[in-house]
Structure 1
Amino acid sequence: MELDNTLGFILGRVSRKVHYRLDEIFKANDITIEQWVGLRMIHEAGPLCQRELADRMEKNQNTIKALADRLEKKGLIERAIDRRDKRNLTLTLTDRGEELLESLSPLEEKVNETIETILTPKQTELCKELLLQLERNL
């Protein structure tokens, strides 16, 4: 089978195209996609300790520490001692982080809506189901 016709290669190409579209939006606001994902996860499930964020993002603790360092330096998150476990630092969004989420979320949603309009609603749901099945089993 030719490389261009393998599922992994096709998924990678599609992923890069989505990544490039989102990257344009976030670069203009001095944030990376990885930082955006961290902010969204802290917002949606937070406050989170760094270990929990590492698990959710499927990254190692050192990568998350560096990510948190950058987000804190930009004034988007705050770290505090976790009341449940003093060995952990809890990450929460600052007002500035919340404002950034509020301003960029509609732009991210527009990219996702554009992607989903390429397929019918039924195809979109099937595509999500299949991708989640792959994710769970890889």
Structure 2
Amino acid sequence: MKLILTQQVAGLGAPGDVVEVKDGYGRNYLVPRQFAILWTKGAEKQIAVIKKARAAREIATFDQAKEVADSLKGLKVVVKAQSGKSGRLFGAVTAGDIADAVKAAGGPDLDKRRIEISNPIKTVGAHQVTVRLHSEIGGTVNLTVA
């Protein structure tokens, strides 16, 4: 099955890429979650629009990505959330919450889709979160949930 990615998919590609995947993976996972659209000649024209939007919000150069990674290292990010007596949160801290907290702490404006949370953050305390800044550079955010 030939698809055009509309969002970043780990291990598959970036928005605007045309990929060939197995029918079940495309039909049952990528298309329903709007990670991809079916490839047609008409949809081929949308690739330029998707790539243009991606270029506008992407960190352009390797050096710029290094600067952002360095600025994230010294940043103290605090997210406030409601929790029970045992320190367990009512819900979880999302990538959007983290992106907002980084900006509020004086850090760079991050795209929430670039924030990778390996395990759901559901407890109060210190956590580390990875941010994909460039294809070769990743940054870490030291996060405190209060």
More strand by share: 2
More helix by share: 1
What is the TM-score when the length of structure 1 is the normalising length?
Answer: 0.30
What is the TM-score when the length of structure 2 is the normalising length?
Answer: 0.29
